[in-house]
Structure formats: C-alpha cells, structure tokens
C-alpha cells in the first residue's frame, strides 16, 4: 500500500536562528562563548526530531547546520604555529554577530507586539477587520513550534524509559486523537500540553497525538499559549468548527480503521 507522508507546514515557524537562540537562551549559555560541540549536537537532534515528525524542515535549517559543523571543525583544528600574525578571528564570531542582530530584532518585535496589544483594542468609526481571525488573549503569548517540539521531546524521553512489552506494530487513528484532544480542551477549557501527551501510551500513539495536535493548530481549532516564554504550554480550543477530512484521509492511507 502506498504510504504517503503528510508534511505539516507551520506558519508559527520562525527559523533556524530562532532555534539556535532558543537553545542558547534556555540553557543560559554565554552567547560570546558558545560551546559549539554541545550546541551543534542539540541543534541536529532538534532537526532530526522535526524530520521524524515529518515537519517541513526548510533548507535554511540545513544551511545553519552546515555552518555549525564548519565552525566545529575549524575549532577542532590546531591553531597555526606562527604567533606573529594578528589575533586569529574566532570562527564563531560571524554567527554570533548574526544571532545578536537577530535577537535585537526579536526584541523590537516584542515592543511592537506590546504596542499593538494596546492599539488593537481601539477602533475607529466604521472599523471592519480585513479578514476575521481568532481573537487573541492579551495576557498570553502564543507558544511557538520549538516550545511544542521541546515539550514533546520531554514526554517522549520519559516514555522511552518505561518498559514496553508491545511487539506488534500499532497504528493509531489521527482523527480519533484529534477528537480526543478537542474533547480534552473543550471540557476543561484548558489542558496543558504535557497533560495531553502524558495520557498517551506507546511512542506511536504519542506521535499520532502530537501530529493531530499540530493539524488542529493549523486548522485553527486549537491554539497553544504560554503565560511567559519557555513557560508551560496550555492548549485552548478556539471553538471553531473544523472538519477532520484530511486526517481521515491520512488514516485511510495508513490503513487505520476507525474503531
């Protein structure tokens, strides 16, 4: 049977520099002295995880991966013997400058976000929204893809430590997972991401759940929020009616019967 893969394209994606900064800032690493081997490893781990999830890993991610590996190799080479030459440039310097510049603009965009939060609540006469989208909660910021993937990784790791006696390959219905998620954040209104993921049994089920979650976000049926950057992720139903045809189709392609 043909097993076509779904590629999830996410608009909340902010790029490879964002991923790198995320790794550096969450671990409180000195940006002027990046432990390049460790960071390269973590960066590649993240890319692999994204690929495993069939996320669309854009070419830009690979460019930065290549840059990291290049820097790593340059740092491993012994310094040339001549002392007369001017101080050798740190191979990390160019990337650090890029990251710092990027971070500056990220800060600016936070300022813009705050200004917009106030202005967005005022309307001139005859105002009409160009295309109605989901209302935003001023008190929360939207979780980005990396926060989601990082949370997913945490649950995945705890799961891998659990003994598993499953031998038969299992397939889980994405549609059923989506319905489960909608029920969870519908009933309690808020469910945390960890909560939802922790309810899943084996790895395949966890992956199905995460994919269903991403698809629901794409469709606008749910949104992920956190009260602060790197904080706990909360899933909220937007109340939008969505049809799960795409997931049903995918289930059929994968040979999953509805139970």
Residues engaged in binding other proteins (CB under 8 A): 11-18, 58, 60, 64, 98, 100-113, 115-116, 118-125, 127-136, 142, 144
In the complex, least distance from residue 196 CB atom to other proteins, rounded to whole angstroms: 23
In the complex, least distance from residue 137 CB atom to other proteins, rounded to whole angstroms: 11
Task: Return all residues near 201 (Cβ < 8 A) that are at least 6 apart.
Answer: none
Cα separations (Å) of 54 from 33, 99, 168? Answer: 33, 27, 23
239: left (phi over 0), alpha (psi -120 to 50) or beta: left
**Edge-to-edge strand order for the sheet containing 222-226?**
141-142, 222-226, 233-237, 190-192
Strand partners, 236: 190, 223
Angle between helix 59-76 and helix 36-52 axes, rounded to 10 deg: 150
Alpha-carbon distance of 145 to 2, in angstroms, equals: 29
In the complex, least distance from residue 52 CB atom to other proteins, rounded to whole angstroms: 21
In the complex, least distance from residue 191 CB atom to other proteins, rounded to whole angstroms: 22
Nearer CB in complex with other proteins: 84/131: 131
Nearer CB in complex with other proteins: 69/202: 69
Cα separations (Å) of 84 from 74, 77, 87, 89? Answer: 20, 19, 9, 14
Nearer CB in complex with other proteins: 17/206: 17
In the complex, least distance from residue 128 CB atom to other proteins, rounded to whole angstroms: 5
Nearer CB in complex with other proteins: 134/170: 134
Alpha-carbon distance of 30 to 28, in angstroms, equals: 7
In the complex, least distance from residue 189 CB atom to other proteins, rounded to whole angstroms: 18
Nearer CB in complex with other proteins: 28/258: 28
Nearer CB in complex with other proteins: 81/124: 124
Backbone dihedral angles phi then psi of residue 237, each to the nearest 5 degrees: -80, 140
């Amino acid at each position: 049977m043909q097993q076509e893969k779904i590629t999830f394209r996410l608009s909340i994606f902010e790029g490879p520099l964002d991923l790198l900064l995320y790794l550096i800032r969450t671990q409180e690493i000195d940006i002027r002295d990046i432990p390049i081997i460790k960071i390269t490893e973590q960066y590649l781990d993240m890319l692999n995880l994204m690929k495993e999830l069939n996320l669309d890993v854009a070419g830009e991610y690979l460019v930065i991966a290549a840059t990291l590996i290049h820097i790593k190799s340059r740092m491993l080479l012994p310094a040339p013997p001549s002392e007369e030459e001017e101080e050798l440039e740190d191979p990390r310097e160019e990337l650090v400058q890029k990251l710092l510049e990027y971070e500056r603009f990220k800060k600016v965009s936070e300022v813009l976000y705050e200004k917009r939060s106030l202005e967005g609540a005022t309307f001139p006469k005859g105002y009409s929204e160009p295309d109605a989208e989901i209302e935003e909660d001023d008190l929360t910021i939207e979780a980005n893809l990396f926060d989601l993937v990082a949370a997913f990784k945490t649950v995945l790791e705890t799961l891998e430590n659990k003994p598993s006696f499953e031998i038969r390959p299992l397939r889980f219905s994405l549609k059923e997972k989506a319905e489960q998620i909608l029920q969870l954040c519908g009933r309690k209104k808020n469910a945390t991401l960890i909560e939802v993921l922790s309810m899943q049994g084996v790895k395949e089920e966890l992956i199905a759940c995460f994919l269903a979650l991403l698809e629901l976000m794409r469709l606008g049926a749910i949104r992920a929020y956190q009260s602060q950057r790197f904080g706990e992720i909360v899933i909220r139903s937007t109340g939008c009616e969505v049809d799960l045809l795409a997931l049903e189709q995918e289930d059929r392609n994968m040979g999953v019967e509805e139970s």
